[in-house]
Amino acid sequence: MKALESTAPLIVYIDIKSPYAFVSIKPTLALEKTLGCQFDWRPLTLDIPSYLGSAEKRDGVVVSSEGRSQRTWRSIRQSYREARRYAERQGHMLKGTEKIWDSSIANIAILWVMQRRPERMKAYLEAVYPPFWQRLLDIEDVSVVADCLERAGIESAGFDAFQQGDGRVQHDQLAGQLHPAGLFGVPSYVLDGEVFFGREHLPYLHWCLTGKQGQAPDVAYDPDGGLPC
Amino acid sequence: MLTVYIDFKSPESYLALQPLLALAEETGCGLRWQPFRSRQRELPEHSPDPELTTSHGRIREAYRQRINRRYAALQGLSLDRPPGNDGTDTALTALLGADGDATAFVVAAFKAHWQDHKNLDEWDVVASLLASAACDSKQLSSDALDRHQHDIEAEGIVSDPALVVAGEVFIGRAHIPLVRQLLNQRTE
- pLDDT for A39 equals 98
| Average of per-residue pLDDT across A37-55 | 80
* Chain B CB within 8 Å of residue A50 CB: yes
Render pLDDT for B110-152 as a digit per residue (tens, 0 to 9).
999 999 999 999 999 999 999 999 999 998 988 999 999 999 9
- Looking at per-residue pLDDT, the higher value among B40 and A221 belongs to A221
Q: A7 vs chain B: nearest CA distance in angstroms?
A: 24
- pLDDT for A52 equals 55
Name, in order, each residue with C-beta under 8 angstroms of A193's C-beta and a sequence gap of 6 or more.
A4, A5
Domains of chain B and CATH, by start: 2-41+87-187 (3.40.30.10)
Spell out which residues of chain B touch residue A222, defining contact as CB-CB under 8 Å.
177
Subunit contact A218:B43, Cβ cutoff 8 A: no
What's the pLDDT band for A56 if we cut at 50, 70, 90? low
Beta bridge partners of B98: B137
pLDDT at residue A73 greater than cutoff 90: no
Subunit contact B42:A72, Cβ cutoff 8 A: yes
Angle of helix A70-89 relative to helix A19-35, nearest 10 degrees, comes to: 40
Subunit contact A74:B158, Cβ cutoff 8 A: yes
Cα-only R_g, chain A:
17
Q: Which of B170, B136, B11 is nearest to B79 (CA)?
A: B11
- pLDDT for A85 equals 95
Angstrom CA distances, B61 to A8, A32, A74, B173, stand at: 28, 29, 20, 18
Subunit contact B55:A179, Cβ cutoff 8 A: yes
The C-alpha atoms of residue A150 and residue B67 are separated, in whole angstroms, by 39
What's the pLDDT band for B89 if we cut at 50, 70, 90? very high
Angstrom CA distances, B17 to B3, B39, B94, stand at: 13, 19, 18
**Closest residue in B to A49 (Cα–Cα):** B47
- pLDDT for B119 equals 95
Spell out which residues of chain A touch residue B172, defining contact as CB-CB under 8 Å.
200, 219
Subunit contact B177:A222, Cβ cutoff 8 A: yes
Name, in order, each residue with C-beta under 8 angstroms of B182's C-beta and a sequence gap of 6 or more.
B165, B166, B168
Task: Report CA torsion sign: A33, A38, A40, A46.
Answer: positive
Cβ-based burial of A143 (10 A; exposed 0-12, middle 13-18, buried ≥19):
exposed
| Average of per-residue pLDDT across A146-158 | 98
Which range (A42-51, A54-63, A93-102, A155-164) has the least confidence?
A54-63
Q: Which of B46, B170, B177 sits opposite A220 (nearest CB)?
A: B177
- pLDDT for A49 equals 60
Domains of chain A and CATH, by start: 16-47+101-209 (3.40.30.10)
The letter for the amino acid at A129 is Y
Kindly provide the ipTM of the predicted complex, given to two decimals: 0.93
Cα of first residue to Cα of last residue in chain A, in angstroms, is 31
**Beta strand A11-14 with B162-165: parallel, antiparallel or unpaired?**
unpaired
pLDDT at residue A65 greater than cutoff 70: no
Entry field: residues in chain B? 188
Contact A36, A65 (CB under 8 A): no
The C-alpha atoms of residue B47 and residue B155 are separated, in whole angstroms, by 27
Percent of chain A at pLDDT > 90 equals 81
The letter for the amino acid at B71 is Y
- pLDDT for A228 equals 62
**Closest residue in A to B49 (Cα–Cα):** A50
Beta bridge partners of A61: A58
Q: Determine which of B12, B51, B66, B74 to mutate to test the interface with A (most A C-beta atoms within 10 Å).
A: B74
Question: Which secondary structure element, helix H or strand E, spans residue B12, and what is its range?
Answer: helix B11-27
Q: B159 vs chain A: nearest CA distance in angstroms?
A: 8
In whole angstroms, what separates CA A6 from the centre of its chain? 18
- pLDDT for A58 equals 63
**How many CA atoms does the CB half-sphere of A208 hold within 13 Å?**
14
Spell out which residues of chain A touch residue B62, defining contact as CB-CB under 8 Å.
182
Q: What rounded mean pLDDT belongs to chain B?
A: 93
Subunit contact A182:B63, Cβ cutoff 8 A: yes
What's the pLDDT band for B53 if we cut at 50, 70, 90? confident
